[in-house]
Amino acid sequence: MTTGDPYNLARSILQKLSCSISLLCSLMIISSITSSKINLSKTQQRLLLGISCCDSITSAIWIFTDLFMPPSGNIHTCNAQGFIIQFGNISNVLYMVALQIQYVLTIKYGWNDTKMKKLEGALLGVPPAFGSGTAITALVLDLYNPADWDCWIAPYPGDCTSTFEINKGNSDLEETDCIRGDNTSIYQWAFFFAPLWTAIVFCIGVMAVVVKSVKKVEERTARAALKSNRISRLVIRRPSRRSGDVPHPDARGDEENAADRQTIDVQRQSPSAVRFTLEHTAIRQTTETPPANNPKSDLSAKNNLPRRKKPKLALTSRVKAQSVLYALGFFIVWSFPTMARFIQLIGGTMHPILGVLAGCFIGSQGLWNAIIYFRPKYNKIDKDHWWQKIWV
């Protein structure tokens, strides 16, 4: 830890704090998923398990980052930290992409669990495969060296000139003076920043597609409900008859008058309309409330009423909310590190406060994931058991 610079001190303290909270939250998600066979059988839960595992190892390694970097550590501990961070971070990013793919296939294209199982191998296997491949490659090429606040892909010494810069004619040197980590800027882009920025754009695009798809379903459902409402309120009368054949309405009973108002004009209605109205009338008659002086009959009629199923639209809206929130959490975590890297890319000077925010937010993925993951369970707890909201 650098104590001379207050910004470095603040970044070190805040990063350790955010990583500690993130580690605890990731472990809570892991415990919730692994303790339920139902959760383990779902693709979405397995993807969240992969995200939480990757976040937990990177958070733990960042908490003790001073032990891995010189002067406390050595080249071997630096290689170990760089390997874990490269594997954990890029695997986490790709797992988030896989999670968004699962959401869009479920919401927009209606994939069920059986169909999703066919793609589950790729969704669960590609992130750790790419993370392992890039981490091993960087280790073999001696790319792990002390960076800003950890050991990662960086040149050593930090001000050395890479072979790529020499070949571009930006230096008078004939060969690189880098002891370790030659051409690290290329590997940083190939192994992390290019996949990261592509993932951010992809998740934002998926979020827009999901929101648009659910909005269309809601509009279509609202139109169908309005149309059904109008049909159910339609009063169909029987054709008029000669006054001599029909007694005056006042001379007939109320039940008979009501029956006449519900009679269908067979000559004017199509067979399907007749069938619908007859069925509708039969349902109304069978579900009619019995007299109040017969409680057993009242209870029997109540039990015989058809049970209303949970609306599929409400479930889709909840899934959409989770998808959008995971994408927003992912964007928030990597927004400040992305801005810092973009300023460096265009040759600008990064403000120290931006460095503090980048170091603080980059280790907070587990916190955002836990808030989103436990949110549905939190909302289901009623006010009488408010104390359960403290630990869902």
Rounded to an integer, what distance in angstroms lies between the CA atom of residue 211 and that of residue 311? 18
Amino acid occupying residue 214? V
Tell me how far apart the alpha carbons of residues 258 and 242 are, in angstroms, rounded to a whole number. 19
Query: What is the model's pLDDT at position 334?
Result: 92
pLDDT given for residue 308 in this prediction: 47
Q: Report the C-alpha gap between 264 and 340 in whole angstroms.
A: 73
Q: What is the pLDDT of residue 1?
A: 47
SS3 per-residue string spanning 123-189: HHHHHHHHHHHHHHHHHHCCCEEECCCCEEECCECCCCCCHHHHHCCCCCCCCCCCCECCCHHHHHH
Q: What is the pLDDT of residues 349-390, one digit of tens each?
A: 888 899 889 888 999 999 999 999 998 888 877 666 655 554
User: So what's the pLDDT on residue 5?
Assistant: 79
Q: How far apart, in whole angstroms, are the C-alpha atoms of residue 229 and residue 221?
A: 12
Distances (CA, A) of 23 to 27, 28, 192, 239, 275: 6, 9, 22, 75, 62
The amino acid at residue 303 is N
Q: What stretches in the chain show pLDDT beneath 70?
A: 1-4, 232-315, 382-392
Task: Choose among 153, 161, 166: nearest CA to 193.
Answer: 153
Three-state SS string across the chain, please? CCCCCHHHHHHHHHHHHHHHHHHHHHHHHHHHHHCCHHHHCCHHHHHHHHHHHHHHHHHHHHHCHHHHCCCCCCHHHHHHHHHHHHHHHHHHHHHHHHHHHHHHHHHCCCCCHHHHHHHHHHHHHHHHHHHHHHHHHHHHCCCEEECCCCEEECCECCCCCCHHHHHCCCCCCCCCCCCECCCHHHHHHHHHHHHHHHHHHHHHHHHHHHHHHHHHHHHHHHHHHHHHHHHHCCCCCCCCCCCCCCCCHHHCCHHHHHHHHCCCCCCCCCHHHHHHHHHHHHHHHHCCCCCCCCHHHHHHHHHHCCCCCCCHHHHHHHHHHHHHHHHHHHHHHHHHHHHHHHHHHCCCCCCHHHHHHHHHHCCCHHHHHHHHHHHHHHHHCCHHHHHHHHCC
pLDDT in tens, 137-169: 999 999 999 987 889 999 999 889 999 889 888
140, 154, 148: which is closest to 184 by C-alpha? 154
Distance CA 185, CA 151 (A): 15
Q: Supply 182's token pair.
A: 């030659």
